[in-house]
Structure 1
Amino acid sequence: MKNKTMYALLISLFLLSGCDMIDYHPYDVRIKGETDVNAHNIERIEANCKGKTTLRFAVMGDSQRFYDETEDFVKTINKRNDIDFVINGGDVSDFGVTNEFLWQRDIMSKLNVPYVVIIGNHDCIGTGEETYKAVFGNTNFAFIAGDVKFICLNTNAMEYDYSEPIPNFSFMESQFEEHKGEFTKTVISMHVSPVSDVFNRNVSRVFHHYVTQYPGLQFCTVAHDHNVTVRDLFEDGIIYYGSTCMKDRCYLLFTIKPEGYDYEVVYY
């Protein structure tokens, strides 16, 4: 009996000491490391860009399972000294698995400049939205860099089956007035464009009408299509610029100046 008791004690000690060895379910939202990434980086963006009249920022997206290419993107950006921040247009995960978000966060955190991540349709799979919110923050958010307001939106309506208002027009309306007077220009960023099958195309023109109400609208950015695109979707002069996936080793570079903006496709 004594031997059995000792054996049971040893097993118990082994199990207790080996808790870190347990591999949880891939959709178990257990977050290690930094959370609220977007909020922390928005603080840096707004502080670093305060008073600037010229901004330069990179837009990329669909990093998904392209980890090596994303690491090389980070190294490429870090070699430059003329970029203020990076916008990741979404789909940092492929299957909504928790570790996918963490791996991409850890790669992007090596950037010398702050970055924000927009939610993509793949990021909504399984418990992906919950993980996205824990790691990066709200699925709709905005910030001001210099005199430009950046409005970042969740447009992945198909993934919600109309269970939530996506796009969220109430949020978009709130941004008309929030910090009014602190910005004269606007950029709208999202994962899927208003003509995508993932978007709620019943309201695509209504969405675009909202977009055009922002002061000094410069352009919109999208991802999702895995191609570089430049499209005047509604034939009114408002350009939707699309970034390709990281597999193509490519990002978009924008420079907003007092008299307009420049656009460049950069391969690395």
Structure 2
Amino acid sequence: MKNAGIVILLLFVMSSCNGVFEYSPYVTQVKGGIKHIISKNSEWLYKILSDTEDDIIFAVISDTHYDYKELEKFIDHVNNRKDIAFVVVGGDIADKGLLKEYEFFAEIMKELNKPYFTVIGNHDYLAGGREVYRQMFGAFNYSIEAGGKKIVFFDDIFWESNKRPDFLWLENELKSAGSSDLVVITHIPPFGDQFSKEDELIYVNLMKKYKVQMSVHGHVHTSYQGHFYSDETNYVVVPSMLKKAFFEITLSDNIQVKESKLP
């Protein structure tokens, strides 16, 4: 009877603690209302851009997983910037890869009054994060077009993904751009910690071969912009939200970039 009582007590505790077990790394089922965000936002962006012939400005943030309060401040700021058409999040949406972290991020981003696009970060791969990301956002590698430019989003995570990035996909995507100007967005810069010398060379040579104008990254939590490899490609590293900063990229005849501080 004593053992039976213990079993009943445990069942009662488990049944009344749904809030606790929601944080399990094995919970990956995303609710329907926050699925396929990239696909939905691509359609939204197409409608927005079909009504303008002006230069297009988009904002880039990264590594939001440390400070969601600064993310809320960023959204308030950008919502009042009618000149910014869309937002890019450069990875590390979640810290531990938990469904609850992704849901919290998505809930905050609902307040944004313009489309946003994401690239996966190394923290996003942790626990069940890979599957949560796939359901919530969609493909890890994809591209959009804006202002006659092609923006390529590429998963370049080595360690947490336990695989090598699909450089063949990247080359085919760059090749298919034809004469369009190119911007590539990944989480980890090629001079970052996860790239071997061989893989760094592969990435950099692709940027050179297809004359990519700008390569944009996060991950290292500090700001940088410049021609790191002394070639035509401008490498941009976006700081974490803790730095209260973001980058603005203007898609014009000559793609321009500047760092902005939150007020």
* 1:80 partner SS: coil
Q: Are 1:267 and 2:258 an aligned pair? A: no
TM-score by structure 1 length? 0.85
Matching of residues 120-159 of structure 1 within 5 Å:
120-159=121-160
Letter in 2 for 1:187: V
User: Which among 211, 215, 235 is matched to residue 240 of structure 1?
Assistant: 235
Structure 1 unpaired stretches of 5+: 1-7
Give the match for residue 86 of structure 2.
Answer: 85
Q: Are 1:207 and 2:203 an aligned pair? A: yes
Q: Give the C-alpha shift of residue 146 in structure 1.
A: 2.2
Matching of residues 21-170 of structure 1 within 5 Å:
23-27=21-25, 28-32=27-31, 33-50=33-50, 52=53, 54-161=55-162, 164-166=163-165, 168-170=166-168
Task: Note closer, same or farther for the CA distance 1:147–1:244 as it changes in structure 2 (3 Å cut).
Answer: same
Letter in 2 for 1:104: F
Q: Give the C-alpha shift of residue 19 in structure 1.
A: 9.6
Structure 2 unpaired stretches of 5+: 1-7
8 Å CA contact 2:215, 2:235 repeated in 1: yes
Higher radius of gyration, 1 or 2: 1
Task: Note closer, same or farther for the CA distance 1:112–1:25 as it changes in structure 2 (3 Å cut).
Answer: closer
Give the match for residue 249 of structure 1.
Answer: 244
* 1:158 partner SS: coil
Letter in 2 for 1:45: L
Give the match for residue 5 of structure 2.
Answer: none
Q: Give the C-alpha shift of residue 100 in structure 1.
A: 0.8
Task: Note closer, same or farther for the CA distance 1:101–1:80 as it changes in structure 2 (3 Å cut).
Answer: same
C-alpha separation in 1, matches of 2:233 and 2:59: 19
C-alpha separation in 2, matches of 1:199 and 1:53: 38
Determine what percentage of the aligned residue pairs are the same residue. 25
Residue by residue over 1:83-125, the C-alpha shift from the partner in whole angstroms, topping out at 9 and shown as x without a partner, is 1111100001111111111111121221111000110011111
User: Which among 173, 176, 181 is matched to residue 175 of structure 1?
Assistant: 173
8 Å CA contact 1:87, 1:115 repeated in 2: yes
8 Å CA contact 1:46, 1:146 repeated in 2: no
C-alpha separation in 1, matches of 2:197 and 2:94: 24
User: Which among 192, 195, 211 is matched to residue 196 of structure 1?
Assistant: 192
8 Å CA contact 2:175, 2:210 repeated in 1: no
Give the match for residue 3 of structure 1.
Answer: none
Task: Note closer, same or farther for the CA distance 1:21–1:267 as it changes in structure 2 (3 Å cut).
Answer: closer
Task: Note closer, same or farther for the CA distance 1:39–1:200 as it changes in structure 2 (3 Å cut).
Answer: farther
Task: Note closer, same or farther for the CA distance 1:265–1:176 as it changes in structure 2 (3 Å cut).
Answer: closer
